[in-house]
Amino acid sequence: MTADFSFAPATGVGSLPGGDAREAARTATGSFEDFPFLPELPARGPGADMIGRTAGMLVELYARVEPSGWRIGDRPGRDTRRARSWLGEDLDALEEFTQGYGGQLKVQAVGPWTLAAALELRNGEVALSDPGACRDLAASLAEGLRLHLEEVRRRIPGAQLVLQLDEPSLIAVLRGQVKSASGYRTHRAVDRQVVEATLRDVVGVHADGPVVVHSCAPDVPFALLRRAGAAAVSFDFSLLTERDDDVIGEAVEGGTRLFAGVVPGTDTALSDPAGSVMGVRTLWRRLGLHPGLLAEAVTVTPACGLAGASPGYARKALAHCVQAARSLADNPE
C-alpha cells in the first residue's frame, strides 16, 4: 500500500437489495461521490451470492451448486458462467456511472479463509479440511483477484482501487468452529501463522493500493490482520467490547484505518447522524486518542451488507453514513 493513501470518510460494505445492476450502480455512485463501491446483488440467486461470485473469479478452479452448497468441480459449468456473467453486468453498470471518475473505488471479494470454509471438495468436506486444498484455493484466488483488479482498472482508469476481502468465517477458522459435513464435529483450528501468511499472500496481490479486511463477527483479530498487511479493518461497531480497546488503540496508532460499521444493515429507525457516531467518540475518549485524529482514522459504513434491507432503507442508510462521517469531522469531541 502506498504510505500516503488516505481513505475517504464514508462508503458501503458491498451488497445491496434487488437485482437491477444499473439501479445498484446508480445508488453506490450517487451515495458516495468520493468512495463508491462495486455493488453485489445476492437476491439474483446462486452466482450472485458472495461465495458464488468469488468462486467465479477463481483461476483454473471451478465451482458448481450442489444441494449442500458450492462444490469444486473439474470444469466451468453453468453456475460459473452465470457468476461471471453477473459480475460482467455489474462492471458494465459501474463503468457507465463512473465515466471520468478519479477518486477511490472499492471492490469486494471473499477472502481465502471464508472461501476455504465454504467451498466443498469432491468428498463433500470443505476445503478447510485439507491444507493442500487451502493452498491451491488461495493461489487461485490471488490470481483471480489480480485479473479482476486489472479489468476494473481498464474500465475505470482514473480510479484509485481499494480491495476489500470479506472474511466473516475467519474467527471460526481460527477457533476450530467450522462444522464438518456431518455436522457432528468441527474442523481443527488453523494455526494463526498459517492464517496470517495466507492472508498476506492474497493481500499482496494489490501491491499498488490498500486492502481492507471486513468481518462482521465478534472478536475481529485486528493485530493479525495488520500484520498480514491490511491497511484497514472493517467491522460491526456494535460488537466491540472494552476487551478490544488495546488492539484498536494500537491499530490506530500504527496507522490502520477503521471502517466503523455504525449504521444498521436492516430496516430500522435511524437516529440523528451525530447519534450514530456517538459510540466512536466515546471509544476515542476511552482510548485517550486525540479527537483531531478521528476523521483521519475512521471511515463510516453500514454494520454489514445491505442485501437484507428494503431498497428505500438501503439508500437512506448509505446517505446516513455520509452525514454521520460529516458529523465526526465537524464535531470530533
Name the β-bridge partners of 261.
Answer: 236, 301
Q: What is the pLDDT of residue 1?
A: 42
- 5 inside domain: no
- 14 inside domain: no
Write the CATH number for 247.
Answer: 3.20.20.210
Close Cβ partners of 98 (under 8 Å, ≥ 6 residues apart): 29, 36, 105, 156, 159
DSSP state of 19: S
Cα(131)–Cα(135) distance, integer angstroms? 6
Pairing type for strands 62-66 and 69-73 reads antiparallel
The beta-strand segments (E) located in 90-210 are 104-110, 160-166
The beta-strand segments (E) located in the chain are 62-66, 69-73, 104-110, 160-166, 211-215, 232-236, 257-263, 298-302
Give the structural domain span for 134. 21-330
Instruction: Report the SS3 class of residue 287.
Output: helix
Asked if 178 and 187 count as a contact pair (C-beta separation under 8 A), the reply is yes
Number of domains observed in the structure of the chain: 1
Q: What is the pLDDT of residue 74?
A: 85
Q: What is the pLDDT of residue 182?
A: 83
Name the β-bridge partners of 260.
Answer: 235, 300
Cα(37)–Cα(83) distance, integer angstroms? 18
Question: How many CB atoms sit inside 10 A of residue 278's CB?
Answer: 14
Question: How many CB atoms sit inside 10 A of residue 88's CB?
Answer: 13
Please identify which residue in the block is written with the cell numbers 460494505: 13
- 13 inside domain: no
Asked if 32 and 26 count as a contact pair (C-beta separation under 8 A), the reply is no
- 241 inside domain: yes
Q: What is the pLDDT of residue 332?
A: 73
Cα(74)–Cα(62) distance, integer angstroms? 7
Q: What is the pLDDT of residue 331?
A: 82
- 190 inside domain: yes
- 99 inside domain: yes
For residue 242, which amino acid is it? E
Q: What is the pLDDT of residue 184?
A: 87
Name the β-bridge partners of 161.
Answer: 105
- 6 inside domain: no
Half-sphere exposure of 33 (CA within 13 A, CB side): 2
pLDDT (tens digit, 0 to 9) for every residue of the chain, 333 residues total? Answer: 444 578 999 999 999 999 999 999 999 999 999 999 999 999 999 999 999 999 999 999 999 999 999 999 888 899 999 999 999 999 999 999 999 999 999 999 999 999 999 999 999 999 999 999 999 999 999 999 999 999 999 999 999 999 999 999 999 999 999 999 888 899 999 999 999 999 999 999 999 899 999 998 999 999 999 999 999 999 999 999 988 999 999 999 999 999 999 999 999 999 899 999 999 999 999 999 988 888 889 999 999 999 999 999 999 999 999 999 999 998 877
Cα(124)–Cα(187) distance, integer angstroms? 13
* Rg of the Cα atoms in the chain: 19
Name the β-bridge partners of 109.
Answer: 165
- 2 inside domain: no
Cα(290)–Cα(211) distance, integer angstroms? 25
